[in-house]
Amino acid sequence: MDSKELRSLFLNYFQEKGHKIVASSSLIPDDDTVLFTTAGMQQFAPYLSSQKNVLEKFQTRHLCSCQKCFRTDDIEEIGDDTHQTFFEMLGNWSIGQDQSGYFKEGAIEYALDFLVNKLGLAKDKFHITIFKGNSFIPKDEEAKKIWERHGITYFHEFGEADNFWGPVSNVGPCGPCSEIHYDRGEEYGCKDCGPNCDYCKRFVEIWNLVFMEYFKNEKGEYEKLKQTNIDTGIGFERLLAILNKENSAYETDLFSDLIKEIEKHAALKYKDDKIAYRIIADHLRGSSFLIGENILPSNTERGYILRRLLRRIIRYARIIDLDLNSIDRLIKVIILKYHHIYPELNQENIVNIFNIEKQKFARTLEKGLKEIEKLTEITPRQAFFLYQTFGFPIEMIKEEANKKGIEIDEKGFKEELKKHQEISRKGAEKKFGKNASEKEIKLHTATHLMHQALRDVLGESVQQMGSSINNERLRFDFSYTKKLSQEQIKEIEDIVNQRIKSGFKVIKEEMPLEKALATGALAFFKEKYKEVVNVYTIKNNNEIYSKEICAGPHIKSSENLGTFKILKESSSGANTRRIRAVIN
Ligand code: SER
């Protein structure tokens, strides 16, 4: 079965059962506290928590979709059998109840009917996970009984970490779940293990059925939702691989045509370096979809993820000696595979953006290579200098050094990196340390508010280029091509003052950098960050105004912040504007 057939089979099956097929939403979710869409339910979140009326919007409670998703947590893991950045998720929903809505029984019946009767999978290979309960939600005996009634015999109980789904960001609908894991047999791993085994990949999760009955609020408490919902998700690539008895999604038609095309233009074959091939194939597909969302390579947020993928393609292309002049032919294979469902993919656009980034990266590397040429040894400190000044990835420094017969002390490099991060942190503490005045702290919080207001008024492409605060004023440089009009300046002032007036709280959270980026926190000068960073969120009840990675400090709430006023707006270099502002 190929990918096109499986997608249609799933959607047609649920359409025949009275579900409405809803098109995939964008990879950029409405909820701007998260960076990317990572689950099919995201576009339905307001209906699942009954903030919006599902019947008014869709004229039915029963929905199904094939959703574009993108995950950034595991970029370093790409290349093994199971990880991809971009993937699709098939799902069906029953939102709220009346006579027409279904819950656990209906969801389980549909799932088994589709897998066994439509796809021909053997029921005795299914192992089902059951939520074992915690201090506020009891064990899901009800689901277990239903599965048993339908002839399932293998059960495994898990707690919150594995068997409770959601919410996507900190707040939202969630609930216990039952997952269907498929047993591929002893030859794929341990003799005697089960789902979520730490040592092998014998069991593959193919379908997650979420019994969505709770809402996690801002305090982290679980409230019962007014309605029960079904939210299910199938990892499309995984199911396709299982059906075709393939080890991995990379062996299915979703990747095999692309891998064959790469082989035509590379010196090494797929069998010689599967990992490099898979990284290139995954990143080509992932970056094509990001560009399809009008994301451009940059140093922050989504643009940074795209830049990282494109530069990794270039790095790994060197390893298999892939001729990057063939990029248009590689992208064409992706377009042929997907454009009938995702017409936003535009070959010319993707190739152009790739080529521009390739040139930028080449210039960076050229400068770094000239430096390496001059060296007869590369100390950890010099390796760090190349990394920091020229953006030279450490793997490439190693390659170049090896060519010259020079060994790189990687441990020493990592220590040097850590030392630098510590210095940056101390610098930030000094700048905003205990003796910084109260006025400066207030201006710092006002800077975050103004930064977000600039993005609201001038668009998301506005990026911080520099910031300086003393006890009289804030000064903020940002990327923008035109002089701001008086109306725009007024609008920015009004937004900030309105936010101060309506009251807000500033919440500080410590988290790993990757997680901070994944939750959509704005980040600048990325290479200077520590592995664990502080994220400052400015929010009013349910509305988040601003979220930035920042050394702080900030005020705790809007009380006594005063009135914000822009004194001057001027140019500060090519495509950069500068604002001076005060609070009174
Ligand atoms: N929301 C669940 C998931 O993403 C089921 O769709 O796994």
pLDDT of amino acid 434: 34
Q: For 302-323, how does the pLDDT look when each residue is reduced to its tens digit (9 = 90+)? A: 888 898 899 999 989 989 999 9
DSSP 458: H
- Helices 253-264 and 327-338, interaxial angle, to 10°? 160
CA of 180 to the centre of ligand 1 (A): 12
User: What Cα–Cα distance (Å) separates residue 555 from each residue in 442, 512, 551?
Assistant: 6, 23, 13
DSSP string, 147-178: HHHTT--EEEEE-HHHHEE--SSSSEEEEEEE
Q: Is 392 helix (H, G, I), strand (E, B) or coil?
A: coil
Q: For 214-241, how does the pLDDT look when each residue is reduced to its tens digit (9 = 90+)? A: 998 888 888 999 899 999 999 999 999 9
Nearest atom in ligand 1 to the alpha carbon of residue 40 is 6
Distance between CA atoms of residues 420 and 288, nearest Å: 35
Retrieve residue 137's tokens.
């939600």
Nearest atom in ligand 1 to the alpha carbon of residue 209 is 5
Query: What percentage of the chain carries pLDDT values higher than 90?
Result: 60
Q: Band the pLDDT of 430: cuts 50, 70, 90.
A: very low
Given a contact cutoff of 8 angstroms between Cβ atoms, the answer to whether 369 and 390 are in contact is: no
pLDDT of amino acid 423: 65
Nearest atom in ligand 1 to the alpha carbon of residue 41 is 1
CA of 231 to the centre of ligand 1 (A): 6
Q: Higher pLDDT residue, 136 or 180?
A: 180
Residues 6+ apart with CB under 8 A from 59: 20
Q: Higher pLDDT residue, 206 or 553?
A: 206
Cα–Cα–Cα angle for 449, 450, 456, nearest 5°? 95
Distance between CA atoms of residues 168 and 172, nearest Å: 7
Q: Band the pLDDT of 543: cuts 50, 70, 90.
A: confident
Q: Band the pLDDT of 528: cuts 50, 70, 90.
A: low
Ligand 1 residue neighbourhood (C-beta within 6 Å): 39-41, 91, 165, 208, 210, 231-233
pLDDT of amino acid 309: 93
Q: Mutation test of ligand 1: which of 232, 237, 239 has the most ligand atoms closer than 8 Å to its C-beta? A: 232
For 93, phi then psi, to 5°, come to -135, 145
Closest by CA to 375, choosing from 421, 406, 416, is: 406
Q: Is 285 helix (H, G, I), strand (E, B) or coil?
A: helix
Q: Compute the Cα dihedral for 69, 232, 243, 344 and give only its sign.
A: negative
Q: Band the pLDDT of 426: cuts 50, 70, 90.
A: low
Given a contact cutoff of 8 angstroms between Cβ atoms, the answer to whether 459 and 562 are in contact is: no
- Which residue owns the Cα nearest ligand 1 atom 7? 233
- Which residue owns the Cα nearest ligand 1 atom 4? 39
Q: For 29-88, how does the pLDDT look when each residue is reduced to its tens digit (9 = 90+)? A: 987 778 899 999 999 999 999 999 999 999 999 999 999 999 987 787 888 888 899 999
Kindly report whether the peptide bond that precedes residue 173 is cis, defined as omega within 30 degrees of 0.
Answer: no
Q: Mutation test of ligand 1: which of 213, 229, 231, 239 has the most ligand atoms closer than 8 Å to its C-beta? A: 231
CA of 208 to the centre of ligand 1 (A): 6
CA of 240 to the centre of ligand 1 (A): 18
DSSP 337: H
- Which residue owns the Cα nearest ligand 1 atom 6? 233
CA of 519 to the centre of ligand 1 (A): 17
Distance between CA atoms of residues 488 and 450, nearest Å: 12
Retrieve residue 485's tokens.
């009009």
Distance between CA atoms of residues 290 and 328, nearest Å: 17
Range 282-312 burial, b when 16+ CB lie within 10 A, else e: bbbbbbbbbbbbebebeebbbbbbbbbbbbb
CA of 174 to the centre of ligand 1 (A): 10
Alpha helical stretches, state H, 326-471: 327-338, 347-374, 380-390, 394-403, 410-431, 438-458
Q: Is 102 helix (H, G, I), strand (E, B) or coil?
A: coil
pLDDT of amino acid 15: 98
Closest by CA to 90, choosing from 237, 215, 194, 213, is: 237
Nearest atom in ligand 1 to the alpha carbon of residue 38 is 4
pLDDT of amino acid 141: 96
| Residue 188, number of CB atoms within 10 A of its CB | 14
Q: Mutation test of ligand 1: which of 177, 179, 181, 204 has the most ligand atoms closer than 8 Å to its C-beta? A: 177
CA of 531 to the centre of ligand 1 (A): 28
